C-alpha cells in the first residue's frame, strides 16, 4: 500500500480511514508513506508478485500507470486504487468506476474484481487512461485601447469641445442601448486547423476549422471514440477507430491528456488504442 504525499496533505482523515479498513481486512499488507514521485516509483518497483494499492488522486494514478508501463509491468499487474482528493482531482477515478468514499474504495480493494481496461498510447510511448482534449488556440490579441477622449494639456478651447463631444456622445448612445462600433468589436474565438485521421480515413481537414477535438478510450469496446466539432453550428463529426492521427501546420497544437498538464506543442501525434492493456480492481458490480 503506497500513500501519495498529496493525499496525506489534502485529506489525511480519508487516508487514515482507508488504511484502517485495509489493515483490518488484510493484516499482512505493508504500508509505504511515499515522500515523493521517486519514492513511489521505488515502492512500485519492489512490489514483486504482490498487488500494489495506491492511495491518491488522479495524477498519482497516472504516474503509477506510466511507471508500470515504462517498466513493461503494466499488463501483468492488477492495480488497486483508493481515490483521495477533491472532486476535480479524482474525476478520472470516478469515470473509471472507482468509488470515491474512503470506506467503499478500501472495501473494493479487498473484495473487488479485476477488470481489463483499454489504454491509449501515443507515438512517443506516453499513455492516456480516459481521454484527451485538444486545447483551443489562443485568440488573436485584442486591439490596443483607444486613446480617444483624453485631453492633452494645453489643448485649444475649440478642440477641447470637440474632444469632449466625441467622449460623451458614445457613452450616451451606450446608455440608450446602442454601443459604439469600436466597443462592440471583440476578437473572434480561435479555431483549430487540423488534419484528423481515424484508422487512415480522413475525418476532418484543415479546410474545415474545428472548435473542439476529443479522443477517448471507449472502455470495453476495443476502439477509441473521436469527436470533432466544427466551428459554427455544423454537426459534430464522429468516428471509432484503433488508431487516431492529428496533424497541424505552423506551431502545432497542444492537448490535455486525462487530468494531466498541457502537452505539446506537437506538429503531429498518433494515438493507438490497446485493448485490455491494464487491469484495475473495481467493485464486483462495476
Q: Indicate the SS3 state at residue 21.
A: helix
Domains of the chain: 2-111 (3.40.50), 131-139+192-275 (no CATH), 143-185 (no CATH)
Arithmetic mean of pLDDT, 262-275:
94
Of 195, 163, 169, 199, the residue nearest 182 (C-alpha): 169
Please state whether the predicted TM-score (pTM) of the whole model is above 0.75.
yes
Percent of the chain with pLDDT over 70: 80
Taking all residues of the chain, what is their mean pLDDT, rounded to a whole number?
84
The pLDDT score that the predictor gives to residue 260 is 77
Cα–Cα distances in angstroms (integers) from residue 119 to residues 199, 223, 234, 281, 286, in the given order: 16, 10, 30, 16, 18
Sign for the CA dihedral angle at 228, 137, 129, 7 comes to negative
Sign for the CA dihedral angle at 125, 128, 134, 138 comes to negative
Residue 147: pLDDT above 80?
Answer: no
The pLDDT score that the predictor gives to residue 168 is 46
The pLDDT score that the predictor gives to residue 164 is 44
pLDDT tens string 175-213: 554 554 544 444 455 678 999 999 999 999 999 899 999
The pLDDT score that the predictor gives to residue 173 is 46
Cα–Cα distances in angstroms (integers) from residue 84 to residues 3, 93, 107, 157, in the given order: 10, 10, 14, 69
Count CB-CB contacts under 10 A for residue 165. 10
More confident residue, 102 or 250: 102
pLDDT tens string 61-103: 999 999 999 999 999 899 999 999 988 999 999 999 999 999 9
Of 67, 65, 75, the residue nearest 41 (C-alpha): 67
Sign for the CA dihedral angle at 271, 276, 278, 284 comes to positive
Q: Which one-letter DSSP state was computed for residue 90? A: G
Of 83, 34, 28, the residue nearest 51 (C-alpha): 28
Amino acid at each position: 500500500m503506497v500513500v501519495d504525499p498529496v493525499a496525506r496533505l489534502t485529506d489525511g482523515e480519508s487516508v487514515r480511514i482507508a488504511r484502517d479498513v485495509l489493515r483490518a481486512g488484510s493484516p499482512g499488507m505493508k504500508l509505504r508513506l511515499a515522500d515523493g514521485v521517486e519514492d513511489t516509483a521505488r515502492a512500485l518497483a519492489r512490489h514483486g508478485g504482490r498487488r500494489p494499492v495506491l492511495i491518491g488522486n488522479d495524477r498519482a494514478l497516472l504516474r503509477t500507470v506510466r511507471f508500470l508501463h515504462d517498466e513493461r509491468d503494466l499488463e501483468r499487474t492488477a492495480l488497486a486504487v483508493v481515490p483521495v482528493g477533491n472532486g476535480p482531482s479524482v474525476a478520472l477515478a470516478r469515470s473509471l468506476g472507482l468509488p470515491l468514499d474512503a470506506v467503499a474504495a478500501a472495501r473494493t480493494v479487498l473484495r473487488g474484481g479485476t477488470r481489463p481496461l483499454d489504454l491509449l498510447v501515443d507515438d512517443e510511448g506516453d499513455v492516456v487512461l480516459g481521454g484527451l482534449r485538444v486545447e483551443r488556440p489562443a485568440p488573436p490579441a485584442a486591439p490596443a485601447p483607444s486613446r480617444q477622449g483624453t485631453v492633452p494639456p494645453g489643448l485649444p478651447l475649440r478642440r477641447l469641445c470637440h474632444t469632449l463631444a466625441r467622449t460623451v456622445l458614445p457613452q450616451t448612445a451606450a446608455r440608450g442601448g446602442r454601443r459604439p462600433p469600436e466597443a462592440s468589436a471583440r476578437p473572434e474565438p480561435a479555431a483549430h486547423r487540423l488534419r484528423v485521421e481515424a484508422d487512415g480515413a480522413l475525418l476532418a481537414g484543415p479546410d474545415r476549422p474545428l472548435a473542439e477535438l476529443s479522443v477517448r478510450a471507449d472502455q470495453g469496446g476495443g476502439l477509441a471514440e473521436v469527436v470533432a466539432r466544427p466551428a459554427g453550428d455544423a454537426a459534430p463529426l464522429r468516428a471509432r477507430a484503433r488508431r487516431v492521427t492529428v496533424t497541424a501546420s505552423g506551431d502545432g497544437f497542444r492537448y490535455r491528456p486525462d487530468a494531466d498538464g498541457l502537452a505539446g506543442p506537437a506538429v503531429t501525434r498518433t494515438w493507438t488504442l490497446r485493448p485490455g492493456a491494464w487491469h484495475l480492481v473495481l467493485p464486483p458490480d462495476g
